[in-house]
Amino acid sequence: MSKTIPTRRTLFADLREAIVGSRQDFTEGSLGRAIFLLSIPMVLEMMMQSVFEVADIYFVGQLGADAVAAVGLTSSLLILVFALGMGLSMAATATVARRIGEKDPEAAATAAFQALVLGFGISVPIGIIGVVFAPEMLAMMGASPEVIEIGTTYCAIIFGTNITILFLFLINAIFRGTGDAQYAMRALWIANLLNIALDPLLIFGIGPFPEMGIMGAAVATTIGRAVGVCYQIYILFRGKNARIRLTMAHFKIDTEVMRNMLRISGPGMLQYIVGTASWIALMRIIAMFGAGAVAGYTIAIRVIIFALLPSWGMGNAAATLVGQNLGAGKPDRAEKAVWITSFVNMVFLGLFALVMFFFAEPIIRLFTDEAEAIRIGANCLRIVSYSYIFFAYGMVTVQAFNGAGDTKSPTWINFISYWLLQLPLAYALAVSLNWETDGVFAAIAIAQTVLAVLGIVWFRQGKWKTQMV
């Protein structure tokens, strides 16, 4: 009996090991324990990112609907940067995890450096475009003249410092690929706790700090992310207990490794551009119904992210286990890890869906007192929550494909779910059938359910087990 039911002492010991850092070989031993040790820091990592998303909009929300709309529209544009970062991150995690599974940490370190070079090369042109064309970008998203005036500087700062976003993504992906998920967790906690502390100080001018308004939110975010990146770089080069350590010997371009990572990341970038660009298009539809609709939708989406990012952490754990176990020649163990993680994720999101459904209005009221924003935001939470228990499986299976280095399958799944289904359905329900914003929310719930079905069917075919990385 003691072998199947963990003692209280064992549970707390495993929890401490998960947070402090585990030296377990995730290709051996108990699969349930491996999932636990990887999932805990990854969930905590994503929970802090969730808290950041909610805290940021909480403070900005006190500046009014125009400020919230400016942040929401900038975030929608920034999704494209996230997509590029996610695409490269998938390649980094898959490649590093596969090399670790093959017991080749030097090759893993080489791959890590190539990922950083690629990230830097992408960030420079994005920063220039963002700084120069910030007002035009907001106008393209349907922002009113008032929103453009208040949000231009915010947008320029966020885009001009996008390298901090890309490096947070990439280096944390490297840590997750090695199995050192605790470092990824700490980097985001450092970045986001600092941002949360600075937000009210710089936005409202508390104490000796200047009152910067919405620009203060951008400065706080940038400082937090930059400090988080500094911590990541320190661990990469000086971390004593990290599974890989970069040295000057790794400071060279390996065209073969870089070409292989681009091969993986190319469809990965397209995968997230397909998925996230659809959210930009949805924001454009929402903007047709006024600033109150944009504000309510922006707040609701931040709350939804609060629910989904911890689930994304579970998906990341599955991706690491898939990559390392394929590298160790254990595809069946990789598959079993995915189904176990999917079930746990379903339970978690099912409970969160109940909270979203029954407490939608009180949750939105925490961020705004504008009646229209509260009504629309609450409707969004309730309607989208219907899909959570299904979407839980979709999130994990899609991440499992990425962990195996198969970034093409999720791209097709996203394209079918979001572009062929979600966008035309959202427009038809919102505009043609006059459901307005509720039609957009219904389309989101339906698309996420379809994505889960496609993910399960595709994954069960097993072609990902033979993917070369």
Number of alpha carbons in the 13 Å side-chain half-sphere of residue 28 = 7
Distances 405 to 31, 255, 319, 347 between C-alpha atoms, Å: 21, 18, 9, 27
pLDDT of residue 6: 47
Phi-psi region of 290 (alpha: psi -120 to 50; beta: other; left: phi over 0): left
- Which residue carries 């989101």 as its tokens? 444
> What's the CA gap between 334 and 319, in Å, rounded?
9
Q: What is the pLDDT of residue 2?
A: 38
Residues of the chain with pLDDT under 50: 1-6
Say what the pLDDT of residue 31 is: 86
Which of 148, 154, 147, 150 is CA-nearest to residue 130? 154
The DSSP 8-state label assigned to residue 418 in this structure reads I
Give the Cα-Cα-Cα angle 400, 120, 186 (nearest 5 degrees). Answer: 55
Q: Which pLDDT score, from 0 to 100, does residue 50 have?
A: 65
Q: How far apart are CA 155 and CA 134, in angstroms?
A: 6
- SS3 (DSSP) at 336: helix
- Residue 352, token pair as written in the block: 């969160």
pTM > 0.95: no
